Structure 1
Amino acid sequence: MSKQTNDRKIEHINIITNDETVDRKKFYFDDVLLKHRAMPEIDLEDVDTSCTVLGKELSFPLLISSMTGGDHELVKTINKNLATAAEACKVAMGVGSQRVMFENPDAAESFAIRQYAPTTLLFANLGAVQLNYGFTETECQAAVDHLEADALFLHLNPLQEAVQPEGDCN
């Protein structure tokens, strides 16, 4: 991975943790309104939030989605902790874009999380735009194999690519 790409991954984390313009006092679930039902028609013991996705049993239909990756101890720790949490809570997890591990093999270690989430529904991840820049089925399969993933995300983020200086816009 280029130094610029790796630095950008760390910059994303620093913005969330240190940028004064990020509102850390807001609870975004405050914007979610649930219909109050004082007298539900079922017993709490009968509520079952579990589901099966791609043959994996989840406790709840929740996905810890694509966060980060790269050649830095901080992102390795973040991915390890997210994988551990996904395993403990029996929810699915997707890693950040694995493109970085093709640019810098040292970054691959940040995606080596299966040991922390042996039964978790795990998604590998590449940007769909990378298919326009030479990625083939080989890289897609390598991303899945490295992660020992159950499936592959091909993410789309044209706005982010358009506004970042080194973005892939085609």
Structure 2
Amino acid sequence: MISDRKLSHILICRDLDVSFKKGTHLDDVELIHCALPELNLEEIDLSTNLFGKKISAPIIISSMTGGHPETKKINERLAKAADKLGIGICVGSQRAALEDHSLRDTFGVVREISKDLLVIANIGAAQLLSPKAKEYAEEAISM
């Protein structure tokens, strides 16, 4: 069942060491210090517009949550953080809710937090290749 697999993803991240073992080679990069005392950090604006929504910085919380009743609270907390910081959020794959409408609120909770929040829907390639692709996409967006 998809819903159980969605919970399994969360439990694996919570209970097992899922750290990436190889480095990114960023430890090989040395930045040369260049003090900018005349720079006013308050004048730096990282905000941008994405899909018609203004976000405070080009950062998006990309999550794998939703699709199991126990993931609703996680999505709610992530959405509150995104709203507070003024950044966007992408929900986890919505396939489970496309197949079982009782799971829609595990994703829909994100939109309930703020109407201004940039929310990116997430469906798989299999759903996009389906004869019901347009219906699936519209349903995912509406969650």
TM range (shorter): 0.7 to 0.9
2:91 counterpart residue number: 95
Matched, 1:44 2:41: yes
Q: Once the two structures are superposed, what CA deviation does each residue of 1:90-149 show, in whole Å capped at 9, x if it has no partner?
A: 00111111111121111111011212132111111111222234432112111112x3xx
Alignment identity in percent?
34
Which stretches of structure 1, 4 residues or more, deviate above 6 A after TM superposition?
none
Deviations 1:19-69 (A, max 9, x none): 2x4349x9x899475734331373323221111212221111001113211
Amino acid at match of 2:3: N
Contact 1:71–1:106, Cα closer than 8 Å, also in 2: no
User: Which of the residues 130, 134, 138 maps onto 1:137?
Assistant: 134
Equivalent pairs counted in the alignment come to 139
CA contact 1:86–1:117 (8 Å) conserved in 2: no
Partner SS for 1:126: coil
Q: Give the structure-2-normalised TM-score.
A: 0.83
Q: Give, in whole Å, the separation in 2 of the partners of 1:89 and 1:34.
A: 30
Give the TM-score normalised by the residue count of structure 1. Answer: 0.71
Q: Could you tell which deviates more after superposition, 109-118 or 92-101?
A: 109-118
Secondary structure of 2:121's counterpart equals strand
Find the aligned partners of 2:63 and 2:19 in 1 and give their Cα distance. 21
1:11 aligned counterpart, secondary structure: helix
Counterpart position of 1:156: none
CA–CA distance in structure 2, aligned partners of residues 36 and 60 of structure 1:
25
**Root-mean-square deviation (Å):** 2.6
Alignment of 1:79 with 2:75, yes or no, is yes
- Unaligned regions of 5+ residues in structure 2, if any? none
1:115–1:30 Cα change, 3 Å: farther
Corresponding letter in the other structure for 2:35: M
Query: What residue number does 1:59 align with?
Result: 56
Measure, in 2, the Cα distance between the counterparts of 1:124 and 1:50: 21
